[in-house]
Amino acid sequence: MSRNRAKAEMGSAQIFLLCLSFFFSLSCAEISTRVGINYGLLGNNLPSPSKSVKLIQLLKANRVKLYEPNPEILKALSGKKLQASVMVPNQLITSISSNQTLSDQWVETNIVPYYPKTLIRYLLVGNEILSFYSDQDKVTWHNLVPAMRRIRASLKSHHIRKVKVGTPLAMDVLESSFPPSNGTFRSDVAESVVRPLLQFINRTKSFFFLDVYPYFVWSQNYQTVNLDYALFKSTNVTYTDPKSGLVYRNMLDQMLDAVFFAVDRLGFPETRLWICETGWPNAGDIDQIGANIYNAATYNRNLVKRLTTKPAIGTPARPGLALPAFIFALYNENLKGGPGTERHWGLFYPNRSNVYPIDLSGGVSDYSGYPPLPKPENNEPYRGKIWCVVAKGANLTDLGSALGYACGQGNGTCDPIQPGKECNKPDSLVWHASYAFSSYWAQFRSSGGTCYFNGLAVQTTRDPSYGHCKFPSVTL
């Protein structure tokens, strides 16, 4: 492309975007910018729905997203000024896509008894169906939009017209996202799934629901991405898109605009976007950088301030656009698997004390009156050895099964704890499991293995080796 042609195209794009910003400022005027909250239930120690709703009100949120149509929660929301988003389970998508009766029954069972006293406003079909990390097969991908159409038809048949239908997607729906102007949907879903999805969204005046996490981009690229840039704190760190000329001052805007450019490429510039999940972990494993209370509070507080500013700020590619959002999440959820960060996204601990104070209405812009945040101690990666051992209080019955799993992965994982070997003594379940966990993690971490084992294991920097028995470790 010649330089003159590029300048001409960029100028046309800027004029086009200015027109779009005017359109969006009008079309989104009715959308409240008060930030909502994701209410997950993957914990065995969480407060009751009624107490949880009180906490949501304490946050001054005006909307809540549920990952299932939990009857007790929907009842607790009855009569409250809290708009609710409810999710259709992933496993029902294929069945509903070809069966209108099943769709009607699902809506009649899970929505009709609570509507309109409970302000259900959004019905989300599935969760991150198109993600590489989803356990859904490609058949489900192609059944997604047909299922959405049937759910909408079911709502209409019950004369429920205020509920919009959508589906949350993860950022890996993009094939290219950098620079933002190169935003492109993956070739395996762009035409077959995303195009009909965008047609449905725009025809029904719904939203493109997106899960977007600057934390993961920063933590995987901390050597090249400035932390303040990810936390909305940077004053002199910017990035200029070489093609569009747009200037970025935070990572979230870059990620959102990559999606906007991808949407534009398919010919749907009028599409409205909703941030379905975003946030920052307040804790994590030893080998997880930047997961701490200071960063979590800084990100979420700055996010709220930015999204609730009036008039709306938007993004460089969509200036003035109101961006509704849900922060993830209400609680730290102790039953979630995977790395430690997975269990530490909450604004509250299960005992209902806050992890840090925050006002989701945007009414508090200066948090100087609140207790000081703890100093972050893991914004630089840990350097040294880490072992994986049995967690304090681990259930012994479950521990036996976990030991069997770790040893069953082969590669000599548990050879040293066999009778007569150097790590067989002391001959105890906890000792053998700790060795097996460390050995498993050291061998399989690079391919996705974690030090978790359904909550039975924890990381430690204290070498558990004893005598001639040397525990394998992960060296960072």
Residue 251 lies in a domain: yes
200's tokens: 């449905």
250-307, pLDDT tens digit by residue? 999 999 999 999 999 999 999 999 999 999 999 999 999 999 999 999 999 999 999 9
Say which residues have a Cβ less than 8 Å from residue 123's Cβ, sequence separation at least 6. Answer: 85, 86, 87, 88, 111, 151, 155, 163, 164, 165, 166
Mean pLDDT for the chain overall: 92
398 in a domain, yes or no?
yes
Q: Judge whether 159 lies within some domain.
A: no
| Catalytic residue check, 277 | yes
Are both 245 and 321 inside the same structural domain? yes
pLDDT band for 368, please (50, 70, 90 cuts): confident
Instruction: Find the catalytic residue in 9, 128, 333, 422.
Output: 128
Which pLDDT tens digit goes with each residue over 61-107?
999 999 999 999 999 999 999 999 999 999 999 999 999 999 999 99
Which of 322, 343, 364 marks a domain boundary? 343
On whether residue 215 sits in a domain, the answer given is yes
- What token pair was written down for 301? 């507080």
Give catalytic status of residue 128 as yes or no: yes
Domain that holds residue 201: 3-61+167-343
Domain boundary among 281, 310, 343: 343
Same domain flag for 302 and 214: yes
C-alpha separations of 144 from 56, 91, 126 in Å: 31, 11, 8
Higher pLDDT, 20 or 139: 139
Chain centre to alpha carbon of residue 218: 15
Token pair for residue 316? 């460089």
Please tell me the distance from the alpha carbon of residue 436 to that of residue 300, in angstroms, as a whole number.
Answer: 39
Could you tell me the pLDDT band of residue 27, with boundaries at 50, 70 and 90?
Answer: very low
Contact assessment for residue 224 and residue 251, using Cβ atoms and an 8 Å cutoff: no
Query: What mean pLDDT comes out for the span 221-226?
Result: 96
Does some domain include residue 237?
yes
Q: What is the pLDDT of residue 14?
A: 46
Q: Are residues 29 and 177 in the same domain?
A: yes
Q: Are residues 331 and 207 in the same domain?
A: yes
Q: Which two tokens stand for residue 153?
A: 């038809």
Q: Which of 86, 76, 146 is nearest to 111 (CA)?
A: 86
Average pLDDT over residues 428-444: 96
Q: What is the pLDDT of residues 147-205, one digit of tens each?
A: 999 999 999 999 999 999 999 999 999 999 999 999 999 999 999 999 999 999 999 99
Note whether 283 and 178 are same-domain residues.
yes
Asked whether residue 215 falls in the same domain as residue 337, the answer is yes
Residues 298 and 400 in one domain: no
Segment 395-399 mean pLDDT:
93
Are 441 and 329 found together in one domain? no
411 and 470 fall within a common domain: yes
Asked if residue 205 is part of any domain, the answer here is: yes
Say whether both 267 and 413 belong to one domain: no
- pLDDT category at 135 given cuts 50, 70, 90 is low
- Which of 9, 191, 270, 277 is the catalytic position? 277
Residue 134 lies inside a defined structural domain of this protein: no
- Whichever domain contains 461, its CATH number is 1.20.58.1040
Q: Is 60 exceeded by the pLDDT of residue 10?
A: no
- Classify residue 160: in a domain, yes or no: no
Number of separate domains in the chain: 2
Q: Please, are residues 328 and 38 in contact by the beta-carbon 8 Å criterion?
A: yes
476: helix, strand or coil: coil
Per-residue pLDDT, 359: 96
The one-letter amino acid at 353? S
Q: Are residues 398 and 328 in the same domain?
A: no
Q: In what order do the strands lie in the sheet with 273-278?
A: 164-166, 120-125, 83-88, 63-66, 36-39, 325-327, 273-278, 208-211, 168-170
